Amino acid sequence: MERGIVAAPRKIAIKLLSAVVRHSLEESREWASAMLEELQFIEGDWEALFWALGCTTAIFRHSSRSFWAWFARQFGFKEDGMNNFQKRTAGALAGVGLTIAATILLMIIVHLSDYFFDFAGWLPKIIITMSALAEVLFVGAVIALWRKKRPMAVGILFTAILLGTHFAVYISNHHLPR
């Protein structure tokens, strides 16, 4: 890499890890700084970006442990861990959150594709297709998670049923002949 010229993936990696250093918890900041320093020794620009993404994930996981411990203390969960009901509730809420996040992401993709590609007549068909794809993904996630992470699967299933019902009612009220 030539001096002074920094490729876009490496710039993104540097900015990402710099933001992680600035915003991480005090106990993780030194570790994040070391990861940022180590970034300069990674040779490829894309490898540097993937390194930064991995580092960000590791720092986030490390920081989230502290957050969840604080959260548990605030809401009266047991200090030595959560009981079974609390674990099931947290799993179901995680499933609901994942489903809502995936739905929002799919909505953003549909709207950005319409913005960039001007699918004027095709937009309703694209929305229906993406909604069907989302439901298939949700059912697949429920099947994959059912044995090991049943509470999360239940949260996904519950939210998927609500979103599917909402979508069916919306289509029947706005797009079907009366």
- Could you tell me the residue ranges of all domains in the chain? 8-74, 84-174
Output the pTM of the full model.
0.45
First to last CA, the chain: 65
Backbone region of residue 76 per phi and psi (left: phi > 0; alpha: psi in -120 to 50; beta: other values): left
The tens place of each residue's pLDDT in the chain, 178 residues long, gives: 444 566 888 899 999 899 888 888 788 888 889 999 999 899 988 999 899 988 888 888 877 777 667 666 666 665 555 567 777 788 888 888 888 888 888 778 777 776 677 666 666 666 777 777 788 888 888 888 888 888 888 888 888 888 888 877 877 787 667 6
